[in-house]
Structure 1
Amino acid sequence: MNADDVRVPRAQAGSSPQHLLTTVLGEYLDSSDADLPSTAVIAILREFGVSESSARAALSRLVRRGLIAMRRRGRSPVYHLTPQAIAKHRSRMRHFLNFGSRPAPWTGEWVLASFSVPNAGQASRHALRRSLSALGFVGLYDSVWIRPGSDAAPAREALRELLHHVEGARWSVLHARFDEETGPHGPASAYDLTGLASAYSSFVEQYAELRAAARDGEVDAARALVARTSAMDSWRKFADLDPDLPPHLLPETWPRQEARETFLDIHTLLGSLAKARLVEVATPHWPDAASWITHFQASRDPSRPEPTGGKHGGGPLAG
């Protein structure tokens, strides 16, 4: 199994206990050697208002997904993140923390996926649209989907996997350039940039008070853990929703940078406090908690966009 085989729960509106636990483990554990008792998981999720039964159910679901594995240590089982999950977490955290730090190099190249599916293959058509959306594609026209960049392999694989068994289905994957890239019929017209800009502005407004409190040192450790996790959970969705179009295709006033600065202030200033609260809550059930719990830290240096340092982490991703 490699990191891509680990099925991380998809982001959703309002965090389920399973998704919340994934966020917390991804943020504060960076080693598959850490033995995590179920009682510690229950205590941690209680901080977020999750009941014991829901916490146990979330733990079981993550075991089934391959994110967590169980092993025996003495009379009681303990849980640990799998090496594959650690690799997945590091990759995702790097993506979330670096997203929006600087414009991606732009070559003018787009990947275009076009397909024709008979009426009998309607279920496969719907499945394909969901798969292409998850890969960052958007429908330019009914059966013509695009995404910026040059990596066509994921689209080819999705089309082949979902349509090869559908009789009469046809598909093509092309590399394309738009003659009128910035015009009203160009690729940006396929995106709801107005809705995305509104979501960024709402994020800034939602977390403005917390950002100010964090800057003024007015957030205690208990609030820091819950608030920092909430901010990450909200920000991470942008990294999946935003197509990261080049600046010349975006509206003149684009609020992503302000949203990113809001997130970075909260995430950076509350990191140590949130970690301390997590250690405090987990230690009665997990005496080694202080040795293993860490936290990711984004770098503001554009020449070094990696998160930094970590005692038990396997690289420069946790602080």
Structure 2
Amino acid sequence: MSVHVPRDDDGAPRAQAGPNPQHLLTTLLGEYLDSADASLPSMAVVAMLREFGISEPSARAALSRLTKRGLIAVRGSGRPPVYHLTPQAIARHRVRMDHFLSFGARPPRWTGDWVTVSFSIPQSGQAQSGQAPRHAVRKALGALGFARLYDSVWIRPGSDSGPVTQALRDILDDVDGARWSVMNTRFAEETGPHGPAAAYDLAGLASAYEAFLAQYSDLRVAVRNGEIDATRALVVRTSVMDSWRKFPDIDPNLPEHLLPVPWPRQAARELMLEIHSALGSLAEARLVEVATPYWPDAASWITHFQASEDPVATFVGGGG
């Protein structure tokens, strides 16, 4: 299950809105490169991001941030610098792309099991004394896919309680007076007004899917009519994926009987897959074109992800 849609600021960090050079570069690298052996000149990256209206200083800042995060590394000591994807980043990209492209393909296998966490952190003489561990617990629970059902009662679908048990031990075992419990539970009235769906902002999530559909429906028509050239294909295909990639992280993937009807996820997924599949070769060709003046071997390394029928994503095309 994925990270929940928080009802307030106590959950996982919200995704940034609008163009973001670091997110775009992460999407580009995940979509179009699949080898740690490829030596990627910095100017090629600048040229790639220029296609999206990203300035050179912003492109270089994105490179620096991804380097600090360990997703890319500098190769050698030459100037201008040459980068490469780390093996760890390659493995992560493959898993993430599979996740993005297969998310929503099948309904979750449902057993009726939930993991429930309840905790109590006492207040003391100093008003802020309990705030730091309380914030840390909420942040950890949000990152693990939990949603807040009541003030200090958090839930997530499934039965695997190991990760949250360890997280609570790490945070609260040394906090005086703190108490917590991790339980495997079932709801007596799972679909009622006091059931688990109340912990999630499903209306907000549905609105996000509807906004995605509204944003890209005209593009699907243009794709079907053959109106998208390679230059536009790179931008819009990458933008569609950059917009879609938030959903597996904010959609808790609840079973169908807990979702409002109609639920727009499948329509949004089908739109994304149609655009993504149709424009893959064109986008790859444009990326090769803009990178080659700064990276003569670009055509040997640049490829693209394609959703397969299993449904699991796979790379097709080049990629040495």
TM-score computed with the length of structure 2 as normaliser: 0.90
Q: Name the structure 2 match of 1:224.
A: 233
Q: Name the structure 1 match of 2:157.
A: 148
Matches for 1:202-221 after TM superposition, within 5 Å: 202-221=211-230
d(CA) in 1 for partners of 2:294 and 2:255? 49
d(CA) in 2 for partners of 1:240 and 1:230? 17
Q: 1:102 to 1:38 in 2, by over 3 A?
A: same
Q: Name the structure 1 match of 2:34.
A: 30
Q: How many residues get paired?
A: 303
Matches for 1:34-49 after TM superposition, within 5 Å: 34-49=38-53
Q: Give the aligned residue type for 2:57.
A: S
d(CA) in 1 for partners of 2:96 and 2:315? 17
Contact kept, 8 Å, 1:112 with 1:145, in 2: the verdict is yes
CA deviation after TM superposition for structure 1 residue 218, in Å: 0.6
Are 2:113 and 1:104 aligned?
Answer: no
Instruction: Give a deviation string over 1:257-305, Cα, whole Å, max 9, x none.
Output: 1111111111111111111111000000001111111111112x3xx11
Matches for 1:41-120 after TM superposition, within 5 Å: 41-72=45-76, 76-119=80-123, 120=129
Instruction: Give a deviation string over 1:87-122, Cα, whole Å, max 9, x none.
Output: 111111111100000101101111111111123221
Which structure 1 residue ranges, 5 or more long, are not aligned?
1-8, 315-319
d(CA) in 2 for partners of 1:170 and 1:246? 31
d(CA) in 2 for partners of 1:144 and 1:91? 31
Are 2:218 and 1:183 aligned?
Answer: no
SS of structure 1 residue aligned to 2:119: strand
Aligned-residue CA RMSD in angstroms? 1.8
Match of 1:254 among 263, 266, 276: 263
SS of structure 2 residue aligned to 1:296: strand
Match of 1:307 among 285, 288, 313: 313
d(CA) in 2 for partners of 1:139 and 1:101? 27
Are 2:282 and 1:282 aligned?
Answer: no
SS of structure 2 residue aligned to 1:26: helix
Q: Give the aligned residue type for 1:222.
A: T
Contact kept, 8 Å, 2:42 with 2:80, in 1: the verdict is no
CA deviation after TM superposition for structure 1 residue 76, in Å: 4.8
Contact kept, 8 Å, 1:30 with 1:312, in 2: the verdict is no
SS of structure 2 residue aligned to 1:14: coil
Match of 2:21 among 3, 17, 20: 17
Q: Give the aligned residue type for 1:308.
A: T
SS of structure 2 residue aligned to 1:79: strand
Contact kept, 8 Å, 1:138 with 1:190, in 2: the verdict is yes
Q: Give the aligned residue type for 2:140.
A: S
d(CA) in 2 for partners of 1:103 and 1:251? 15
Contact kept, 8 Å, 2:25 with 2:49, in 1: the verdict is yes
Contact kept, 8 Å, 2:304 with 2:315, in 1: the verdict is no
d(CA) in 2 for partners of 1:11 and 1:20? 13
SS of structure 1 residue aligned to 2:246: helix
Report percent identity of matched pairs: 71
Q: Give the aligned residue type for 1:280.
A: E
Q: Give the aligned residue type for 1:91.
A: V
Which structure 2 residue ranges, 5 or more long, are not aligned?
1-12, 124-128
CA deviation after TM superposition for structure 1 residue 48, in Å: 1.0
CA deviation after TM superposition for structure 1 residue 137, in Å: 0.9
d(CA) in 2 for partners of 1:74 and 1:233? 32
Q: Name the structure 2 match of 1:122.
A: 131
Q: Name the structure 2 match of 1:4.
A: none
Matches for 1:190-205 after TM superposition, within 5 Å: 190-205=199-214
d(CA) in 2 for partners of 1:75 and 1:233? 31
Instruction: Give a deviation string over 1:14-73, Cα, whole Å, max 9, x none.
Output: 232112111111111111111000010111111111111111111111111111111117
- Of structures 1 and 2, the one with the larger relative CO (CA 8 A, separation 6+) is 2
Q: Name the structure 2 match of 1:268.
A: 277
Instruction: Give a deviation string over 1:122-173, Cα, whole Å, max 9, x none.
Output: 1221222122112211001111111111222221232222223322212121
Q: Give the aligned residue type for 1:290.
A: A
Contact kept, 8 Å, 1:110 with 1:177, in 2: the verdict is yes
TM-score computed with the length of structure 1 as normaliser: 0.90
Q: Give the aligned residue type for 1:102.
A: R
Match of 1:298 among 307, 313, 318: 307
d(CA) in 1 for partners of 2:221 and 2:158? 37
Q: Name the structure 2 match of 1:241.
A: 250
SS of structure 2 residue aligned to 1:297: strand
CA deviation after TM superposition for structure 1 residue 78, in Å: 1.3
